[in-house]
Structures are given as C-alpha cells and as structure tokens.
Structure 1
C-alpha cells in the first residue's frame, strides 16, 4: 500500500520531472508546453498510484488475488495518444508533418509519470534526463543532418505578368516539393513581363539544371537564371 505521504511525494516528483521536459517544449514554442507536460506526468503518476492501491485493497480487505494493478496504467499509454494526435493535427495546414517530436515527448512523459507512481524514482529521473538530452542536444545533430541534405537555390525568373502565371509557378514548386524561402519582384507591376528573384530549398536530390529545365517547360516562363558560387549568372 502506498501511503498518503508517499503518494504526495511521488506526485510532486512527477510535477518536477514533467516540468523539466515541458519547459524545453515551451522554450521551443511548441503547441504542448510546460503545463501540458506537467499535467500528463502528474495524471499518469496518479493513475499508477491508484491502480496499485486498489489492487492492494482488494487483496488485504477481500482476499482477491487476481486484481491487476497494471490495467489502469496500461490505459494511460493508450489514452495519451489523443493528445499526441492533437499536436500533429494542429500543423496539417502546412504541407509537411510537424509535431511528431512533441507528441513523442508527451508519450514519454506519461511513461515517466507511471514509473514515478510505481516508485522507481531513480529510473524516472534517469529517463527524464535522457529525454531532455534528446530534445536539446540531439536537435543540433538533426540540424546538421538536415543542412547536409538540404539543397538551396536562387533563381531569376522572367515570365508573363499575370495572376494565372503566378499561380502556375506556385503550383509547380508545390508539386515538386520545393519550398519557397523568399521571393522579390524587380519589375514594375504594370509591366507585361514579371522578373522575380526566388530563393528555394528542397531535400530532393535534384540538380538546379533539372529545375531550370522544368521551369522553362512551364507555359509563360521565358527565361530562368541562377547564380553559382562564383557569383556569375548562368542561364538556360
């Protein structure tokens, strides 16, 4: 039986450990931050404590030996999925999946709460430390890998100055999974030709010449230039 004092201590530890992970997510301006992680860890810990105490009560008061203290705790892992799904669905307006790391951190915090509730405090502290390391230090490794794979280009595009042509260009980049980082118009709005400087990035293994050829194949695109590292323009 977990005493009231021991239960309160475990709940407080759960608040602290959940707050450590939640603080990092809050600092990154994620959808699930400090309070969410604290509540998840606290609630998970409470479920584990109640689950153990109910099983012990059934045994000592009624002699029931087949009471399973893991049932309530097991439902926490399943039920926490709706919070994780919410952090992912909130970013579906963009054409890439975001929120997976925050969803995973919520799931991990729930597990930490269960471990605290079960009384394995040292294990819970170690797990929290490792989760925090993954969220803070490994992000630098992730950025290095991302920068290594990411290709960035800047194109000078001359095309017909119409709304339909602009939409056609935007649809091309979207279809080819090319992210437009910035663009600048260097021609007057009333001119029949639009001249744009477009900076793009992509994780696809595609050479700039291939993109230029595909752009020139679009209706209304007249010229495409790009700047190599030596600063000299080349065109196709």
Structure 2
C-alpha cells in the first residue's frame, strides 16, 4: 500500500508538474490556467492513490483477488473530458473553434497526475517536459508553417454606404477563414458609396477570380479588385 508520507510526496509532485503546464497556459491568457491545471493533476493523482490503496486493502484484509487498482482512476479519463469541453469555444457564425489546445493540455495533465499517483515519477516528469516543449517551442514551428502556407493580399472595394454593409463584409471574411489584418476607408463618411482597402491573410491556393465573384455577390458591393504581389489579378464591376 502507499503510505501517507509517500502519498503526500506524490501529491506535492503532482502540484509542481501540473503547475508547470498550467503556468504556460496562464501566460497565454487561456481559459484554463495555473489553478485549473494544478487541481486537475492533483485530483487525478489522488484518485490513483486511493484506487491503488483500496484495491490493496481489499486484497490483504479480505482476500479479494479480483480487486482492480485502476477502477476509480479509470473514471478520471472520461470525467476530465467534460472539463476540457468547457474550455472549447465555438463560433458558429464564423465557423471557428478555439480552445482545443487548452482542452488537450487538461487531458494530458490528468494523465500526468495518474502516472504520478501510480508512482512512475520519472515518467511523469519526462511527460511534463515534453508537453511544455510542445506548448512553447512548437508555437514557432506552427507560425513558420502558417507563414509558408498563407500570404497577404490587398483588396479594393467600392460599396454602398448603407447600414450593416461593413458587418456583411466582415461576416463573409470570418465565414471563409480570411483573417483581416488591416482596413482603411478612402472615401468621405457622408459619401453615397464607400471606397475601402483591406489586407487579408489567405491560403496559397486562393482562387482570386472566385473570391472576387463571391465578394461581388454580397449585397451593396459595387466593385471589387484583388491585388496580389503587386500584380492586379481581377477587376470586376456590377
């Protein structure tokens, strides 16, 4: 059985390891931060310790040979899924999802707590180090890959100066995963038609003609011009 002193040591280690992962999420201002990750790791470790001790006690005291030391701990894996789901935010209008990495970190930190509770301290420490590396250093790799799969393009639009026109345009950008980097109005505020310039972050395989056709299909858009790498691709007018 796991003694009280050893249980306390494992719980303290779970606090430290969970805190390392939680610190990185807290630094990124995520929905689940330092305290959440510490509590998940601590609770998982406690469940594993109790699960092992109950199984061992039933075996030595009552002679039960079918005691499962992982029965209580197994519920952590499914239970932590509800907590992870709470960190995922879905934007149905923009068709985007945020918080998947934080939800995954909660799931991993629960596994780390179980490993600590089972007594595999070196394995838990190594796993925590790997998770910390993935959350920090791999961010640069992710940004590098994004830069090589996406590029900026400049759009010139002429639209009706009507209520909700800018909202329709931004909703289109969000719905088609086009990141708006800059936006500038060139015409007077009281003008009947508004002339704007926008810079978008788009994928390399963007079809300029298709984008122009869809923009011109928006209500109130009169002209659309897409410039890419200082070369005019398409100019259309209704």
How far did residue 71 of structure 1 move?
A: 0.5
Establish whether residue 181 from structure 1 lines up as the match of residue 219 from structure 2: no
How far did residue 217 of structure 1 move?
A: 4.6
Counterparts in 2 of 1:174 and 1:101: CA distance versus 1, 3 Å? closer
Counterparts in 2 of 1:52 and 1:164: CA distance versus 1, 3 Å? closer
Deviations along 1:45-80, one digit per CA (max 9) or x if unpaired, are 000000011011111111111111111110001100
- Residue in 2 that maps onto 1:78: 78
Counterparts in 2 of 1:124 and 1:221: CA distance versus 1, 3 Å? same
- Residue in 2 that maps onto 1:113: 113
- Residue in 1 that maps onto 2:194: 194
Counterparts in 2 of 1:188 and 1:32: CA distance versus 1, 3 Å? same
Deviations along 1:104-148, one digit per CA (max 9) or x if unpaired, are 111110000000000010111111111111111111111111222
Cα distance between partner residues in 2 of 1:92 and 1:219: 23
TM-score of the two chains, using structure 1 as the length reference: 0.90
Cα distance between partner residues in 1 of 2:91 and 2:168: 23
Cα distance between partner residues in 1 of 2:149 and 2:46: 44
How far did residue 216 of structure 1 move?
A: 3.5
- Residue in 2 that maps onto 1:92: 91
Counterparts in 2 of 1:177 and 1:92: CA distance versus 1, 3 Å? closer
How far did residue 34 of structure 1 move?
A: 0.5
- Residue in 2 that maps onto 1:28: 28
TM-score of the two chains, using structure 2 as the length reference: 0.89
Contact map agreement 2:209 2:234 (CA 8 A) in 1: no
Contact map agreement 1:153 1:208 (CA 8 A) in 2: no
Cα distance between partner residues in 2 of 1:133 and 1:157: 44
SS at match of 2:159: strand
How does 1:1-80 map onto structure 2 within 5 Å? 1-80=1-80
How far did residue 35 of structure 1 move?
A: 0.5
SS at match of 1:80: helix
Counterparts in 2 of 1:21 and 1:163: CA distance versus 1, 3 Å? same
Deviates more, 1:170-179 or 1:57-66: 170-179
Deviations along 1:16-57, one digit per CA (max 9) or x if unpaired, are 000010011111111111100000000000000000110111
Deviates more, 1:112-121 or 1:136-145: 136-145
RMSD: 2.1
Cα distance between partner residues in 2 of 1:29 and 1:164: 32
Runs of 5+ unmatched residues, structure 2: none
SS at match of 1:32: coil
